[in-house]
Structure 1
Amino acid sequence: MKTRYIIGILLILTTSCSDFLKESSQDLAYVRSYVDLDETLLGDGYMNVASAASLGSDNYSEFYYPYIHFMADETQENVGTGRSTVLSSRDAIFGYYTWQRRVGINVEGTFRASENADWDKIYKHINIANMVINTIDNQTAKTSFDRNEIQRIKGEAYFLRAAYYFTLVNLYGKPYSLKTSSTDPGVPLKLTDYVEDLKFSRNTVAEVYEQVVKDLKNAEICLENIPLKSVYRAGIVATYLLQSRVYLYMQNYTLAKECAQKVLDRKDGLIDLNSFDNMEHSFLSSKSEETIFSMGTSITQQTVNGLMEDFGISDDLYAQYRPYLGNEDLRRSYFMEDYLGYQRYTKVKPGRTGRIDVSDNFLFRTAEAYLNLAEAAACSGDESTARTALNALRLKRMAHIGYISVELSGSELVTFIRDERRRELCLEGHRWFDLRRYMVNEKYPFVKTIRNSYTIFQDDDWGDKEPVETRVFELKENDDAYTLPIPIEVLNFNDGMKDNERAERPVINVITY
């Protein structure tokens, strides 16, 4: 049965799906004009900003996949002496952080939290985009302003649907492989705006990417000549940047390079750390000359905080900022700082309200365009363009005095660009997805074993915390756990839906104190 103008939230979201349907129907039963659709898209189509109550608490339900920063090799838990955290984010994300077979499990193995929060929220956003896309052409346009507004709203909706499916398939689907994407299971595609009384199966990774590419092309057509409203609304430059990222993941280097260059043709600004005053401004900010688009919220300022029982910058990442050819990398002092013996994250800083005005996992900025261009050019044999883009970025990040350009070639150049990507985009939600795509790269494959630990603490005689036992877990090269399991709530509702198999994750070493 088709019910137009009613948002059909995917029935696979949760067993209490009817509650979501009822709530949405009350709000969106009737659309009177494109203004209603614009307000709906802004309020429910874009990622939400976490409430003030969630900031500084252990309630992560309003944040989007916060575990993305901790599954890779950018962070490590803080063990030793020093000030202890009030709220340990390790506990909330234990199953993700240590790559457990069921990610909702707690450290004791006695409780399993719900696993479908991100699946639920993202599919709800997708259904808002579906409704806008499928109804916007029915709206009346009396003036050229009206027609432009309708084009803008439609383009934003296409962009958002593409962005959300790209995110979902990189969380819950295999990385895009030129050899197996047509058979690898991805995520369900739902493009209708009405309730469908059926159970959903998973489309292939190739099918999901095909839809993402199609949606971004439609977004490009709609947004090409439309002025940008703000950095919190998608525009043509954000569309080009997401296209370049998608094509890079697909190993279509010609189009990845072309789209990255389109970004830089319109917006190429970079912060010069030689003259940047981080006492006055946060490096990551909505006002930065590098910022293209952002939605959602930042959580890293309260989780990668240098406090004991929580997280700091990993030794491995910190070591990446060592001088190269004598060039001093200024990012080491601007992106992180020593705090109570650990390296905490300072790339973002709260404003007066305690809130950070850009996301830490959905932020688009020009630096990525330079890196996408460099990698795509290097992988396609255009090494001159690759080195030019790479050095243009590094010149703004390294001390000017004595700067020596990178003049590598071949696999060494590609490796350096990837390392530069790690340094530049650290804790912005890229690293986990990058490690996945490197595994299946045809020309320059890269695999890595990662180890994360979880430490048990107890109070000493003075009421301070001290470590008792550290349990070490390992993610091996090409491990199945590089892909998240389908949420158990989704599997329970959709009998027969194929899960992503992950082995039990044993402790490989125990350190006692």
Structure 2
Amino acid sequence: MIVFLKRLIKDGFQRVLKVGLMTLLLVFISGFWGCDFLEVDPIGKTTIPVLFSDMDGIQSALPGAYSAVYEYYDNNFYLYPDVAGDMLSLNVVGGSAEMVEQYNFSSTPDDAAGTVGHIWRYTYEALANINNIIEYQPSLVEKYPQYEDQLNEILAEALFLRALVHFDVCRCYAQPYNYTEDASHPGVPIVLKTPGPDDNLPRSSVAEVYDQILKDLDLAIELFEGKVASTPYYASQEAAYALKARVALYMENWDDVIAYSDILIGQRELTKREDYTDMFNNLEAGDEMIFRLNGLYKSSSLSSFYSPISPVAIPADTLISLFDDPNDIRLELLTDESNEPVCKKFWITAEVSEQEKHYDPIVLRLSEVFLNRAEAYLNKQMYEEAANDVKVIQARATGKDPEDILISYDPVELEKIIDRERAKELCFEGIRFFDITRRKKDLVREASTTSTVQYIAYPSDLFVLPIPEKELNANNNITPNPTVND
């Protein structure tokens, strides 16, 4: 309420009324989307053009789009890749722990309120908000040519977000890009505008989804040209290049991974060792942050899930055993004072009020870019270059000089080293399970895992979530996923 009143004073009564209408509309749409993302209400269809009739409307919509993306990042989507992976141990006392179904690979299509329904609903809800911006931006450029630069930057941010959301939902409900030789296997519906009541969109192939992702990112990069990123909390040209590098990694387009990574590594520096934990614990954005979401004044599911006090989940022995140097700075975020495993990446220690404490989910950072490039170099048989990128990450973590670190150039051993560094550096940042599946590896958990599943061989139908039953019932063009939807 205080923030609302401050905006009322600063921006004027008319602007705040419009923001309020936008917020109410988004809530209204959300209620309908709980049934089926293709359902459209007639009130929304007539009200949205009014809200996007001037600059205030589109400027108000952009924060709403970011907030919609935050909604699924600070929840099941960010947790799923680690819960389903091999580096986390879940407290399943009584079998009622949060996300225990994903931990045990027993997700069901009728799980409307849990992970299966939540990720599907909120990713497509985010797309609805984003697509409204993209749809109405051209008419505003025509109406307000003096604001063309500003409107083009808004469009660029929306295109980046649309690419990100399509990439995220596809990774959850479809097998990885390289599952088939030409990526012709079922992906997810591509939504480029709010569908009409009779538009029952089918699942596009994974290849088609990735093509659309790249188209959006290419246009975003073009529109961002000349714009300098002032904060990692907004999409930027750097964020678009980083996401393109990650997408290229999943597509195994090694030359593209290297090219986009080169751009970023040439422009940015890693967060220094002495500042490393601050970018997780002290509300510091972090020098290496390329894109993260702002959780200010929002409750955080991540902080409660990984709370150092009675956590739902902790680092598994498989993760802790990867650390062979007790001075590795990353261990400070994975163990407590007694060296017991606990995830402190979501523990805010900054001296601020409880209201100001928040967690900002990390989406893209330079450490990942180095490791992406290392993997690409490895697959290009450029072993020295791959080793050098890994040394940069290890040197920062251990406080050593890269020249003092010895890494084998043997491709088999180097592949293992890169995989271990990705696990140590990027654990609990929503990546691990996707790393396993895209690399066509078996899932192998610690022998003492609390899950009912210790091993799953690749490929497996269990490596994707079921399509929600509500969606299947409402849309006869949607095909289910084998086994998990049975």
TM-score (norm 2): 0.81
Show the counterpart of 2:90: 77
Letter in 2 for 1:92: E
Q: Does 1:99 align with 2:105?
A: yes
Q: Does 1:448 align with 2:443?
A: yes
Range 390-399 or range 246-255, more displaced: 390-399
Q: Which runs of 5+ in 1 are unaligned?
A: 51-59, 81-87, 106-110, 440-445, 455-469, 506-513
* SS of aligned partner of 1:187: coil
Separation (CA, whole Å) in 2 of partners of 1:337 and 1:123: 37
Q: Does 1:311 align with 2:310?
A: no
- Once the two structures are superposed, what CA deviation does each residue of 1:155-188 show, in whole Å capped at 9, x if it has no partner? 1111011000000110001111174444210001
Match of 1:40 among 23, 42, 61: 61
Change in 2 beyond 3 A, CA 1:10/1:165: farther
Separation (CA, whole Å) in 2 of partners of 1:100 and 1:178: 22
Change in 2 beyond 3 A, CA 1:353/1:246: farther
Separation (CA, whole Å) in 2 of partners of 1:501 and 1:254: 34
Show the counterpart of 1:15: 35
Q: Does 1:430 align with 2:431?
A: yes
Residues 238-257 of structure 1 mapped to structure 2, 5 A cutoff? 238-257=239-258
Shift of 1:495: 2.8
* SS of aligned partner of 2:364: strand
Separation (CA, whole Å) in 2 of partners of 1:502 and 1:101: 11
Show the counterpart of 1:472: 452
Q: Does 1:483 align with 2:481?
A: no
Shift of 1:61: 11
Range 172-181 or range 230-239, more displaced: 172-181
* SS of aligned partner of 1:177: helix
Show the counterpart of 1:364: 364
Change in 2 beyond 3 A, CA 1:386/1:496: same
Instruction: Write 1 or 2 for the structure with the bigger share of helix.
Output: 2
* SS of aligned partner of 1:411: helix
Separation (CA, whole Å) in 1 of partners of 2:276 and 2:360: 21
Note if contact 1:451-1:472 (Cα within 8 Å) is conserved in structure 2. no
Separation (CA, whole Å) in 2 of partners of 1:359 and 1:302: 14
- Once the two structures are superposed, what CA deviation does each residue of 1:425-460 show, in whole Å capped at 9, x if it has no partner? 110001011111011xxxxxx323347999xxxxxx
Show the counterpart of 1:262: 263
Instruction: Write 1 or 2 for the structure with the bigger share of strand.
Output: 1
Change in 2 beyond 3 A, CA 1:22/1:76: farther
Show the counterpart of 1:467: none
Change in 2 beyond 3 A, CA 1:490/1:142: closer
Separation (CA, whole Å) in 2 of partners of 1:453 and 1:371: 29
Quote the sequence identity (%).
Answer: 22
Q: Does 1:63 align with 2:75?
A: yes
Shift of 1:257: 0.8
Note if contact 1:37-1:132 (Cα within 8 Å) is conserved in structure 2. yes
Q: Does 1:335 align with 2:328?
A: no
Change in 2 beyond 3 A, CA 1:243/1:98: same
Note if contact 2:90-2:97 (Cα within 8 Å) is conserved in structure 1. no
Change in 2 beyond 3 A, CA 1:494/1:342: farther
Letter in 2 for 1:301: S
Cα RMSD of the aligned pairs, angstroms, is 3.7
Show the counterpart of 1:220: 221
Change in 2 beyond 3 A, CA 1:429/1:185: same
Show the counterpart of 1:28: 48
Show the counterpart of 2:124: 123
Change in 2 beyond 3 A, CA 1:79/1:102: closer
- Once the two structures are superposed, what CA deviation does each residue of 1:362-418 show, in whole Å capped at 9, x if it has no partner? 422111111111111111122232222221222111132894232433122122112
* SS of aligned partner of 1:293: strand
Change in 2 beyond 3 A, CA 1:353/1:375: farther
Letter in 1 for 2:347: K
Note if contact 1:328-1:398 (Cα within 8 Å) is conserved in structure 2. yes
Letter in 2 for 1:477: A
- Once the two structures are superposed, what CA deviation does each residue of 1:477-497 show, in whole Å capped at 9, x if it has no partner? 122111111111111112352
* SS of aligned partner of 2:452: strand
Letter in 2 for 1:316: T
Separation (CA, whole Å) in 1 of partners of 2:357 and 2:434: 24
Residues 168-207 of structure 1 mapped to structure 2, 5 A cutoff? 168-177=169-178, 179-193=180-194, 195-207=196-208
Separation (CA, whole Å) in 1 of partners of 2:243 and 2:417: 22
- Once the two structures are superposed, what CA deviation does each residue of 1:171-215 show, in whole Å capped at 9, x if it has no partner? 001111174444210001121245251222111111101111111
Separation (CA, whole Å) in 1 of partners of 2:38 and 2:170: 25
Change in 2 beyond 3 A, CA 1:484/1:366: same
Show the counterpart of 1:57: none
Letter in 2 for 1:500: N
* SS of aligned partner of 1:292: strand
Separation (CA, whole Å) in 1 of partners of 2:301 and 2:244: 26
Note if contact 2:188-2:204 (Cα within 8 Å) is conserved in structure 1. yes
* SS of aligned partner of 1:92: coil
Shift of 1:345: 0.8
Letter in 2 for 1:437: R
